[in-house]
Amino acid sequence: MSATQVRIETIIDAVDVACRAPSLHNSQPWRWVATDHGVELYADPDRMIRAADSTGREALISCGAVLDHFRVAMAAAGWSITVERLPEPSDPRHIATIRFATAAEVTAEQRRRADAILLRRTDRLPLSAPRDWDVPGETGAGGADPDSPVRVHSVPADKREVLVEASYLAEALRLYDSDYHSELFWWTADFVATDGIPRSALVSAAEGDRVGIGRTFPVTARPERRGELDSDDAAIVVLCTEDDSRESVLRCGEALSAFLLDATMTGLATCTVTHITEVPAGRDVVASVLATTSIPQVLVRVGAAPALDAIPAPTPRRPVHDVLEIRRGATC
């Protein structure tokens, strides 16, 4: 069934919701094209983070996350999708070709999952240990694809301090990397409007010290928050892949989306952590902690935020007309 049978308004709404997906520094490195036959997803090389992500691996993970978010949004609108990943080997920017078919029904679970996209926030503050949540062991993390090459590992509590040291190591290795720090300042500037990380979403030095496992952003001066939490007791999980191929990395992004939405639907807060896996030494430490030959791609802190905390404002996103191109004949 072709995309011309899907109202263009539905596609626009789904893309708008999908773009709530997480990305490195909220760079949103994607571009969508609606055609007569479906929707195409492309990576946007002009929005890639060069110093932190020189290979484009994290941009590909981000594109995987937005792809899964789009799947969820379309399911809630009554459509199932089929995805051809990386359809043009000669064009590494072409991430996916998407086709549509009418779904038999829209379940309450699918609607809740789409709602979770709008509820999810990145929480960089200290968290309590997750309650009534089964921390995954070494399990598949394919989201909608049971054959996904992605695996979720949970970090044993007695190994947490090793990851804290790995976090410090990753930062120390970049202490004199002026390009890296210039990028951090650029993406957290006061003029953030439709991308980047607003200062309100960052933490103070004292708050960051209590978390331990997190990227060091420019320090913000603000009153101390969550002072009742002396330390961060969030569970730490790691999404790993069998190899570093582009398809595996893309599928890791899809699995990351599925994992974050699962946690959000359970009422838990999450924070994606990638600075450790951006450097080879950090990856090696994480792999040794997990005693795995798989390749660590992304860490996620999962925990409970205080019930009385105010829900933070959503981070900015680019307007849908900036990321979606509707080609001639694509409208109904």
| Model pLDDT for residues 293-305, shown as the tens digit of each residue | 999 999 999 999 9
Alpha helix positions (H), 19-147: 57-76, 108-119
* Tens-digit pLDDT profile for residues 217-239: 987 777 889 999 999 999 999 99
For residue 85, the tally of other CB atoms under 10 A from its CB is 18
For residue 140, the tally of other CB atoms under 10 A from its CB is 15
| pLDDT value of position 2 | 44
Q: Give dist(CA 332, CA 315) in Å, integer.
A: 32
Structural domains in the chain, CATH included, are: 3-120+316-326 (3.40.109.10), 139-303 (3.40.109.10)
Contacts of residue 53, Cβ cutoff 8 Å, sequence gap at least 6? 24, 59, 278
Maximum CA pair distance of the chain?
Answer: 58
- Chain length of the chain: 332
For residue 318, the tally of other CB atoms under 10 A from its CB is 16
Query: Taking CA 109 as the corner, what is the angle to CA 107 and CA 113, rounded to the nearest 5 degrees?
Result: 120
| pLDDT value of position 193 | 86
DSSP-derived letter for residue 312 is P
| pLDDT value of position 137 | 53
Q: b/e for 242-258, b at 16 or more Cβ within 10 A?
A: eeeebebbbbbbbbbbb
Nearest residue to 24 via CA among 56, 67, 68: 56
* Tens-digit pLDDT profile for residues 94-134: 999 999 999 999 999 999 999 999 999 999 999 999 987 77
Which residue(s) pair with 128 in the sheet? 304
Give me 217's structure tokens.
């952003």
The residue type found at 4 is T
pTM of the model: 0.95
Work out the mean pLDDT of the chain and round it to a whole number.
92
Give me 6's structure tokens.
């899907």
Q: Give dist(CA 267, CA 317) in Å, integer.
A: 23
Q: Which helix (H) or strand (E) holds 16?
A: helix 8-18
Q: CB-based burial of residue 25 (10 Å sphere; 0-12 exposed, 13-18 middle, 19+ buried)? A: buried
Q: What angle in degrees, to the nearest 10, is found between the helix axes of 57-76 and 246-265? A: 50
For residue 279, the tally of other CB atoms under 10 A from its CB is 18
Q: What angle in degrees, to the nearest 10, is found between the helix axes of 160-172 and 280-290? A: 170
Which residue(s) pair with 237 in the sheet? 154, 300
Contacts of residue 271, Cβ cutoff 8 Å, sequence gap at least 6? 122, 123, 124, 127, 214, 234, 300, 301
Q: Spell out, as residue ranges, where the chain has pLDDT lower than 50.
A: 1-4, 142-144, 330-332
Q: What is the dihedral angle through the alpha carbons of 42, 43, 44, 50, rounded to the nearest 10 degrees?
A: -170
Q: Give dist(CA 307, CA 96) in Å, integer.
A: 39
Pairing outcome for strands 324-326 and 30-34: parallel
| pLDDT value of position 311 | 87
